[in-house]
Amino acid sequence: MLSTAAALRAARPDADLILSMDPDHMPWGPRGHDAVVARVIAGAEAAAAAVPGGAPDAVVVPCNTASVHGLVALRSRFEPDVPVIGTVPPIKPAAENGGRIAVWATIATTASRYQSDLIERYAPGGRATPVACAGLAEAVESADPERVAEAVAYAAERTPADTRGVVLGCTHYDLVDTEISAVLGSGPALFTAAQAVAAQTLRRIGTGPAPGAAPTGTLRVLASGRPSDLPKAALAYPAGQALAQGPMAD
């Protein structure tokens, strides 16, 4: 979730952010539908409970796997009082760019009907190649450069040579976009969702970006419901470093 949280922080430096992580039950990618839904609901409820009155301005789901499986349940739980904003793999803008695309995602998202429907809608006729990036999200979590390099190489080998656009269908992958571009070369463009999700969040809560606002927004981190600090691995990435610069909530 770091890339989306950093995009929100850049757009609204005055916003208070609660990052509800789930290290006790990661990775989610290989889990079944019901298990993912249970973890999504638990994480959102823990975050909501940390807000005075239990009513956050919005619940943002900066994870494709969580969105694919959990958005219906989350919206049933929180809306209409609290808007729920999911993350959609940016297949549409990648397809509109022209040429063949590859959709890099977790095993669970790659196998989902949700992603298949997006591909059929925006890139039909075999224009999109789904690539299940085994181990990449976990490698990013570890912040281990060797593991990241191995996982990126694995996915790149399964990406057709004539690909013009690569959809980063997991927000973890945003954190290693430089490494991905280095392996793929200058041919394909990368498409991520973080900026779009941040913009949609501000629209849903009825405000706009204020990048020049005073940096007064606090950061609170939950680890499977427990108060925590940003994981050390998060500080290996620019997005994590940007979030760590702001004040922590009491």
**At residue 29, does pLDDT exceed 70?**
no
Mean pLDDT for 5-21 is 94
Q: What is the pLDDT of residue 250?
A: 66
- Among the ranges given (20-24, 66-70, 116-120, 141-145), the one the predictor scored with the smallest mean pLDDT: 66-70
Tens-digit pLDDT profile for residues 205-232 = 999 999 888 889 999 999 999 999 999 9
Mean pLDDT on 158-181: 95
Exposure of 124 in the CB half-sphere (CA atoms within 13 A) = 3
Sketch out the chain's domains with CATH numbers.
Answer: 2-87+195-244 (3.40.50.1860), 91-192 (3.40.50.1860)
Q: Which residues contact 142 (CB under 8 A, 6 or more apart)?
A: 233
Tell me: pLDDT of 248 over 70. yes
**Residue spans of alpha helices (H) in the chain:** 2-11, 33-49, 64-78, 91-96, 107-110, 113-122, 136-142, 145-157, 177-184, 194-204, 238-244
| Distance in angstroms between the alpha carbons of the first and the last residue of the chain | 21
Burial class (CB in 10 A: 0-12, 13-18, 19+), 162: exposed
Tokens, residue 235: 């500080």
Mean pLDDT of the chain: 92
Of the candidate ranges 6-20, 63-77, 171-185, the one whose mean pLDDT is the lowest? 63-77
Give the length of the chain.
250
pTM surpassing 0.85?
A: yes
Tokens representing 242? 């940007």
CA 167 – CA 165 distance, rounded (Å)? 7
13: its two tokens = 């430096």
Can you say whether the dihedral through the CA atoms of 105, 107, 111, 113 is positive or negative?
Answer: negative
Name the CA dihedral angle for 22, 24, 29, 34, rounded to a multiple of 10 degrees: -80
Residue 187's pLDDT is: 84
Q: For 139-168, what is the mean pLDDT?
A: 96
Q: Are strands 189-191 and 226-228 parallel, antiparallel or unpaired?
A: unpaired
Collapse the DSSP code of 100 into the 3-class scheme (helix H, G, I; strand E, B; otherwise coil) and give the result: strand
Residues taking part in catalysis: 63, 170
HSE (CB half, 13 Å, CA atoms) of 13?
A: 13
Instruction: Give the pLDDT mean for 35-56.
Output: 92
Q: Which two tokens stand for residue 135?
A: 């181990």
Q: Residue 210 is encoded by which pair of tokens? A: 């204020």
Burial class from Cβ neighbours inside 10 Å (0-12, 13-18, 19+) for residue 75 reads: middle
Q: Are 143 and 197 in contact (CB under 8 A)?
A: no
Question: Per-residue pLDDT for 28 more than 80?
Answer: no
Q: CB of 122 within 8 A of CB of 131? A: no
